Amino acid sequence: MEWRFLTLKRITIDLPAMRHYFLLFIAAATLFSCNEALTPEIILEDLQSDRIKDVVIDSDTYNEMDDQYAIAYALASDRMNVLALHAAPFHNDRSTGFAEGMELSFKEMERVLEVTGCQGKYPVFKGAEKSVSDDPDQFDPNNPAAQNLVSIARKARKPVYVLCLGAITNVAAALMLDPSIKGSIVVVWLGTNCFSRGNLEEFNLYQDYMAGQKVVDSGVPLVILPAMGKRGEGTQVLRVDQEKIQAIQGEGRAQRFFRSELPQEFHDTQGEWRHILWDVAAPGLVAHPEYYRLRVIPAPILTDDRQFAFDSTRHRIVWMDSLDPDAVFSDLFSCLSAN
């Protein structure tokens, strides 16, 4: 005879369910107490769990307009708990150099917090003013963002997801300060291209190529969301137009900003509206990993001539092949509409 329920004083106990939850508890305790447990398989299991994920956002926010959507997405989602925002450096036609790019990103982060009604609720830290690639022998990793990431990681009792939406300089700096934080963080990086692309001329990576090499080679738990590839691959599929963005509903400050003001601002200053919201892929992954096609692979080698090389004996990482843009946008617009 199989006894499924035990009833005592009007209290019903489901013994198989208790055993199931007990095993889940033991697995969670093992995951959150043992650094060695952060394998790609455990990361995938954790992503798919109902646990609310602690995240740090590291972003070159002023570079273009996708970072702003990504930050607001993370702030509004009930699947994430944002611990801090870190400003990343960048250099293009919107900055005179890496230092100014970081400063502008810091200010843009504060603007996003103000627009979303979150001003003063989340700490914002300035990051590196130079890239590792500028002069690796003289690079100083002691910047506020790197120091804060080390502090967060040392205190963490569960994995912290670091969403890197630009050059990965600040994470490289934090790993230089304290390599042991690899046991407490999972880096989700919008970096590199798909293998089918054939080269590594991707913006976030070439902004600080040596930082990318250091992080990929470090063995830190890593999820890479590549940019460009064949049709249907990478984060390049996150294309929106002015009509689609109207799915953001409501007349609040944030809704008006993301539905019309920010796109118009970029149209006026850049002569175009950027139609790919690359960076929303990172919070989208944490919120809904089921929208993504992921696999575990040996970490690719980023060669000095900016090509991929492969070695099956390398440590393993999680790699994204593709995502469902309609599903990601649906969740993004729903979160922004409710903000």
Please state at what angle helix 66-76 crosses helix 98-115, rounded to 10 degrees.
40
pLDDT at residue 15, rounded to an integer:
47
Least confident of 39-48, 198-207, 263-272: 263-272
Asked if the model's pLDDT at residue 272 lies above 70, the reply is no
Asked if the model's pLDDT at residue 27 lies above 60, the reply is no
Asked if the model's pLDDT at residue 1 lies above 60, the reply is no
Q: How many other C-beta atoms lie within 10 A of the C-beta of residue 304?
A: 9
Contact 198, 162 (CB under 8 A): no
Q: Which residue has the higher pLDDT, 13 or 86?
A: 86
Q: In what order do the strands lie in the sheet with 292-298?
A: 124-125, 80-87, 53-59, 160-164, 185-189, 222-224, 316-323, 292-298
pTM over 0.75, yes/no: yes
Q: Helices marked H in the chain — which ranges?
A: 15-33, 40-48, 66-76, 98-115, 144-155, 169-177, 203-207, 209-218, 253-256, 262-270, 281-287, 325-338
Average pLDDT over residues 22-51: 70
Q: How many other C-beta atoms lie within 10 A of the C-beta of residue 28?
A: 14
φ and ψ at residue 295, rounded to 5 degrees: -150, 160
Asked if the model's pLDDT at residue 259 lies above 50, the reply is yes
Element of type H or E holding 312: none
Asked if the model's pLDDT at residue 203 lies above 60, the reply is yes
Contacts of residue 251, defined as CB under 8 A and 6 or more positions apart, other chains included, come to none
Asked if the model's pLDDT at residue 24 lies above 60, the reply is no
**Distance (Å, whole) CA 315 – CA 217:** 8
Contact 32, 42 (CB under 8 A): no
Percent of the chain beyond pLDDT 70? 87
pLDDT per residue as tens digits for the range 210-241: 999 999 999 999 999 999 999 999 999 999 98
